[in-house]
């Protein structure tokens, strides 16, 4: 898969493709349906597929510091899109300049002039351009005048309910990982490079592999049973924590993972943490000893969940 970072890096050989546009947060079953439609058009026209993403996502750009919860970061999206067979991913930097693009300018400059699309697939509620003025009707007029195929996908339903990133966020906020995964179509995971933490877990007998999530805010929080890959040939059982660690007054939002039966140094390793089941919400402990006792109990529960699985 070819990754194109911003429109300035589109090459002449990237001209001519079938494309789709969106946030693709989570790359859920609805997104996978768009990709399947795109793959059929790719076979028809014998052209590569291109998924166009925005980074940051438009809502994040406009809301600034009041960031909405997000399912996946851009690197995780790209890995999933690659897994589902996408040929190219164009990540457009969403800034003041791009936000000022009219819908017509976006179609003319990005889709037609730079990418040379022969077909475009969009979701049923797709809006784009300055003040979200672009819609299916505008795209249809362009497709008729500029001679490209336009497809609008109907809402993708699971058990009669419309699949959306918002629905998945709601399931994860409630800790219902299994329901989220039904409409994701894959496990829910977070990836990242292991960084050095405060080393407090080691002092308490629970060393952790820490991933600093920076500005990323996943809707899933608390203590979770998890499986970790990237540290050998098989997945390792673990108990994970997502939050901002109120007991040590650290404002950073982190993912901490305590691996069972693993003592090697994993600093700077790139790992994937797949979440299996939430055990409990965060607790505001008054002492470290109280927290250590609770973590012991959490480990027992996590091992029971993972061994049963």
Query: Residues 155-213: pLDDT tens digits?
Result: 999 999 999 999 999 999 999 999 999 999 999 999 999 987 655 555 556 788 999 88
Of the listed ranges 133-137, 210-214, 297-301, the least confidently predicted one is: 210-214
- Greatest CA separation for the chain: 70
Residue 64 has pLDDT above 80, yes or no: no
Both structure tokens of 84: 């589902």
Average pLDDT over residues 26-32: 98
Pick from 246, 199, 224, 189: which is nearest to 295 by CA?
224
Judge if 263 and 140 occupy the same domain: no
Q: How far does Cα 120 stand from its chain's mean position? A: 22
Whose tokens are 């070819």? That residue is: 2
Secondary structure of residue 197 in the 3-state scheme? coil
Q: How many domains does the chain have?
A: 2
Judge if 72 and 146 occupy the same domain: yes
Judge if 10 and 102 occupy the same domain: yes
Q: How far apart are CA 152 and CA 143, in angstroms?
A: 12
Whose tokens are 């608390």? That residue is: 222
pLDDT of residue 35: 97
**In-domain check, residue 76:** yes
Whose tokens are 């050095």? That residue is: 196
CATH number, domain with residue 257: 2.40.30.30
Average pLDDT over residues 80-96: 97
pLDDT of residue 62: 87
List beta partners, residue 150: 120
Judge if 196 and 136 occupy the same domain: no
Both structure tokens of 288: 């470290």
Query: Residues 277-293: pLDDT tens digits?
Result: 999 998 887 777 888 88
Judge if 121 and 7 occupy the same domain: yes
56 preceded by a cis bond (ω within 30 of 0): yes
6: left (phi over 0), alpha (psi -120 to 50) or beta: left
Both structure tokens of 3: 């990754």
41 and 52 Cβ atoms separated by less than 8 Å: no
Average pLDDT over residues 106-117: 98
Q: How far apart are CA 225 and CA 48, in angstroms?
A: 39
Both structure tokens of 136: 């299916």
Q: How far apart are CA 223 and CA 243, in angstroms?
A: 9
Pick from 47, 52, 39: which is nearest to 151 by CA?
39
Whose tokens are 């919860």? That residue is: 69
139 and 150 Cβ atoms separated by less than 8 Å: yes
pLDDT of residue 41: 98
Residue 67 has pLDDT above 90, yes or no: no
Query: Residues 245-273: pLDDT tens digits?
Result: 665 566 678 899 999 988 888 999 999 99
CATH number, domain with residue 32: 3.40.50.620
Domain of 154?
2-162
Q: How far is CA 29 from CA 18, 38, 68, 107, 156, in A?
A: 20, 14, 21, 26, 7
Q: How far does Cα 64 stand from its chain's mean position? A: 19
**In-domain check, residue 181:** no
Average pLDDT over residues 78-98: 97
pLDDT of residue 202: 55
pLDDT of residue 204: 54
Q: Give kind and range of the element (H or E) at residue 97.
A: helix 96-99
């Amino acid at each position: 898969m070819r990754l194109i970072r911003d429109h300035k890096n589109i090459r002449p050989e990237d001209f001519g493709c079938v494309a789709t546009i969106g946030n693709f947060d989570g790359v859920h079953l609805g997104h996978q349906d768009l990709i399947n439609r795109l793959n059929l058009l790719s076979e028809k026209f014998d052209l590569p597929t291109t998924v166009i993403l925005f980074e940051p996502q438009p809502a994040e750009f406009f809301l600034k510091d009041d960031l909405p919860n997000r399912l996946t970061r851009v690197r995780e999206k790209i890995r999933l899109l690659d897994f589902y067979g996408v040929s190219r991913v164009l990540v457009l930097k969403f800034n003041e300049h791009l936000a000022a693009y009219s819908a017509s300018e976006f179609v003319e400059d990005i889709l037609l002039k730079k990418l040379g699309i022969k077909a475009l697939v969009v979701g049923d509620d797709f809006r784009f351009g300055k003040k979200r003025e672009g819609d299916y009707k505008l795209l249809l007029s362009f497709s008729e005048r500029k001679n490209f195929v336009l497809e609008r996908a109907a809402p993708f339903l699971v058990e009669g309910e419309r699949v959306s990133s918002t629905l998945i966020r709601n399931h994860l906020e409630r800790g219902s990982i299994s329901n989220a995964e039904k409409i994701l179509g894959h496990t829910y995971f977070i990836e990242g490079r292991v960084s050095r933490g405060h080393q407090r877990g080691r002092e308490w007998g629970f060393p952790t592999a820490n991933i600093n999530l920076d500005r990323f805010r996943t809707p899933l929080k608390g203590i979770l049973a998890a499986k970790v890959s990237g540290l050998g040939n098989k997945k390792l059982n673990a108990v994970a924590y997502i939050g901002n660690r109120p007991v040590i007054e650290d404002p950073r939002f982190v993912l901490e993972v305590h691996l069972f039966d693993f003592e090697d140094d994993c600093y700077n390793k790139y790992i994937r943490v797949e979440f299996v089941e939430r055990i409990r919400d965060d607790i505001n402990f008054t002492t470290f000893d109280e927290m250590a006792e609770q973590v012991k109990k959490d480990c027992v529960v996590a091992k029971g969940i993972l061994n049963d699985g």
